[in-house]
Amino acid sequence: MGKSTLFEALTKKQVNISNYPFCTIDPNVGIVEVPDERVDKLTDISHSVKRIPAVVNFVDIAGLVRGANKGEGLGNQFLAHIREVDAILFVVRCFENLEIIHVEKTIDPIRDIDIVNMELILKDLETLEKRIQKVEADAKTGQKVIVDELDFLKKLKADLEQGNLARQFVENSKGLFDEKSPTGAVNSKAFKDLQLLTSKPGIFILNSNTLDIVPELEKKIKDLNSEYIVADLRDEYDSSKFSEDEKKELGIGESKLNEIITKSYKILGLINFFTTGLDETRAWTIKQGTKAPQAAGTIHTDFENKFICLEVINYEKLMEIAQNDKEGDPWSNAARLGQIKTEGKEYVVQDGDIMEVKHGQ
């Protein structure tokens, strides 16, 4: 309860917000700027004409109800929408208000979390069963790789049947995914190919008009290997209509929206590197662990294909140099101090790296 309210507060995009279930049928999609003061400071240092921040897409999908895996409340349609996303924000109602309808008639956040997770698990079990049937037929050939995959799928299915999420299975069975072994590589590929709903990382947004939550709810979320943010989404929605200056004048407290955006970015395993100059300062999004040529390829495919090297300095190092000599040019000082490094193809790009790509013609 509060999904569309949160979506509009985040995206400033008007959607249908009503106090009855299933007011959202087709998904709403909005692009949200990732708050990052580094973009602003680099823009100032480089006197850039344009600043281009990183962005993340948010999708407002209708809520799930009991029986969604069997099609209740257009459940199959909504579950298909969930399969398309990379991470899930679970908006959980924690507030009492008789005027706002709850599909289960009473307020019980733990019950609601259990209902949604069980619907996702049941849909995953359906996906697993179809895959197992196919692999069982192929396993009759006796090929070891297929027999190993079947054994893995059955272990995964047994765990989900106990009410566990796929991401909990991964956390508790890391030995099965050791890619140094042939079996681990097979398991990792089989798991990835399944695209299970409960394998997606998630954050619980506890929609509450108080900061207090019961210990049982906190434990429930911790047991699910997830994080939570407590936010009054109606207040967030109302305050999102004001500018930062107006919020200060009205004494409106700090918003939780930036925390929601940055945590969403974090659970996706994303980091930013930067390019900067007179024309523009831009934040580029890559997966943590990306090597230099592939990171360069996000700027232009030719940069990856014809990659030679990077000239790179991390943002924190540049700011340290700028702070120590506020009158000087930080770029010239960084070069003079030997802090702009040359890195090759095996360099793993770090969050906050400021890069210039050297490439062939």
Give the residues across from 358 on adjacent strands.
309
Classify domain 289-359 by CATH architecture.
Roll (3.10)
Share of the chain above pLDDT 90, in %: 56
pLDDT at residue 20 in the model: 37
CA angle 19, 22, 25 (to 5 degrees): 130
Distances (CA, A) of 180 to 143, 146, 233, 345: 20, 18, 46, 22
- Taking the whole predicted model, whether its pTM rises above 0.75 is answered as yes
Can you read off the two tokens belonging to residue 78? Answer: 């909504």
Residue spans per domain, the chain = 3-106+201-266, 119-198, 289-359
pLDDT at residue 78 in the model: 63
Q: List the chain pLDDT tens, one digit each, 361 residues.
A: 467 788 888 887 654 444 434 444 456 788 888 999 999 999 999 999 999 999 988 888 766 556 544 544 444 566 777 888 899 999 998 987 766 666 666 889 999 999 989 989 999 999 999 999 999 988 888 788 899 899 999 999 999 999 999 999 999 998 899 878 888 888 999 999 999 999 999 999 999 988 778 899 999 999 998 999 999 988 888 888 877 778 777 777 778 889 999 999 999 999 999 999 999 999 999 999 999 999 999 999 999 999 999 999 999 999 999 998 888 889 999 999 999 999 999 999 999 999 999 998 7
pLDDT at residue 19 in the model: 41
pLDDT in tens, 165-213: 999 999 999 889 987 888 888 899 999 999 999 999 999 999 998 877 8
Residue in this structure with the two tokens 């490094």, named with its chain if needed: 341
Task: Spell out the CATH class of 119-198.
Answer: mainly alpha
| CATH 3.40.50.300 at 3-106+201-266, yes or no | yes
Alpha-helical runs (H) found in the chain: 3-11, 37-46, 75-83, 109-139, 144-161, 166-172, 182-194, 215-223, 233-239, 244-250, 257-267, 292-297, 301-305, 315-324, 330-336
Among 274, 282, 278, residue whose Cα is nearest residue 49: 278
Cβ distance 224 to 118 under 8 Å?
no
- What is the DSSP secondary-structure string of 184-197? HHHHHHHHHHH--G
DSSP code at position 39:
H
pLDDT at residue 44 in the model: 94
Pairing mode of beta strands 55-60, 28-33: antiparallel
Backbone angles phi, psi at 105, to 5 degrees: 75, -20
pLDDT in tens, 61-112: 766 556 544 544 444 566 777 888 899 999 998 987 766 666 666 889 999 9
pLDDT at residue 296 in the model: 96
What residues have CB less than 8 Å from 23, skipping those under 6 apart? 4, 16, 17, 62
pLDDT at residue 75 in the model: 45
Can you read off the two tokens belonging to residue 273? Answer: 């590197």
pLDDT at residue 191 in the model: 95
pLDDT at residue 242 in the model: 79
Rounded Cα distance, 305 and 1, in Å: 47
